[in-house]
Amino acid sequence: MSNPLRQVFNKDRTFRPKKKFEPGTQRFELHKMAQASLNAGLDLKVAVQLPPGEELNDWVAVHVVDFFNRINLIYGTIADSCTEQSCPVMSGGPKYEYRWQDEKSRKPTALSAPQYMDLLMNWIEVQINNEDLFPTNVGTPFQKNFLKSVKKILSRLFRVFVHVYIHHFDRIAQMGSEAHVNTCYKHFYYFVTEFGLIDTKELEPLVSAQPR
């Protein structure tokens, strides 16, 4: 593994612990299938497509967890330069400000980027560890609101890409990790557009970075 990628995957820099799939489960097998496609250099547009005979919700669940892990790691590499002083507002340039809202804070609240990231990663962790929302046992049905919940998770994860690309890409470039981050973003973009999981308006902040 090259030095820049070793920096990206340095466990000491991980912003949150990685979520893992239990060996022997259907979700674990799907995860291995998805990773094998990526490692084989398969076209990302093809790699994100639902494999024949597989359930959409299972495929989506695997990717949500994988994207959480990867984006979590990417943010971890620049977290030391994303501070209260450098990023007093969670934003994606002057046109886009992201305010935090959850079950506890009904009113959207302005936060610094590091505060927002901390709440976001913690909130997503709670979601993906919720057995009712992300069941791990084979045969346990997904809730009817599963895809709706996933759309909210993915749209918020996209904001991490926005902030990193617009405010911290020089740091990524210094580490020589542009190719890795770009590949992660392309994988994410092709997946969410393949299944319509993010409103196109949400994607506007990175319109110039969208792969063709």
Neighbours of 24 (CB within 10 A): 9
Q: If you search the block for the tokens 């962790």, which residue do you land on?
A: 125
Identity of the amino acid at 107: K
User: How far apart are alpha carbons 61 and 67 in whole angstroms?
Assistant: 10
Take residue 133 and report the two structure tokens written for it: 């929302």
- Tell me if 156 sits within 8 A of 120, measured CB to CB: yes
Q: Cα–chain-centroid distance for residue 202?
A: 14
pLDDT tens for each residue of 100-136: 998 887 789 999 999 999 999 999 999 988 989 988 7
Q: If you search the block for the tokens 């542009």, which residue do you land on?
A: 178
> What is the number of structural domains in the chain?
1
Predicted confidence band of residue 39 (pLDDT cuts 50, 70, 90): low
Burial of 69 per CB tally in 10 Å (0-12, 13-18, 19+): middle
168 is in an annotated binding site: yes
Take residue 16 and report the two structure tokens written for it: 């949150």
* H or E stretch at 167: helix 146-167
Q: What is the pLDDT of residue 57?
A: 93
Predicted confidence band of residue 20 (pLDDT cuts 50, 70, 90): low
Domain that holds residue 73: 3-209
Take residue 17 and report the two structure tokens written for it: 């612990």
Closest to 16 (Cα-Cα) out of 63, 91, 87, 67: 67
Closest to 198 (Cα-Cα) out of 172, 166, 144, 160: 160
Q: If you search the block for the tokens 């990206």, which residue do you land on?
A: 8
184 is in an annotated binding site: no
Closest to 121 (Cα-Cα) out of 75, 168, 190: 75
163 is in an annotated binding site: yes
CATH, residue 147: 1.20.140.30
Mean pLDDT over each residue of the chain, to the nearest integer: 83
87 is in an annotated binding site: yes
User: How far apart are alpha carbons 45 and 10 in whole angstroms?
Assistant: 28
pLDDT tens for each residue of 92-103: 989 999 999 988
Share of the chain above pLDDT 70, in %: 79
107 Cβ neighbours under 8 A, 6+ residues apart: 101
Share of the chain above pLDDT 90, in %: 50
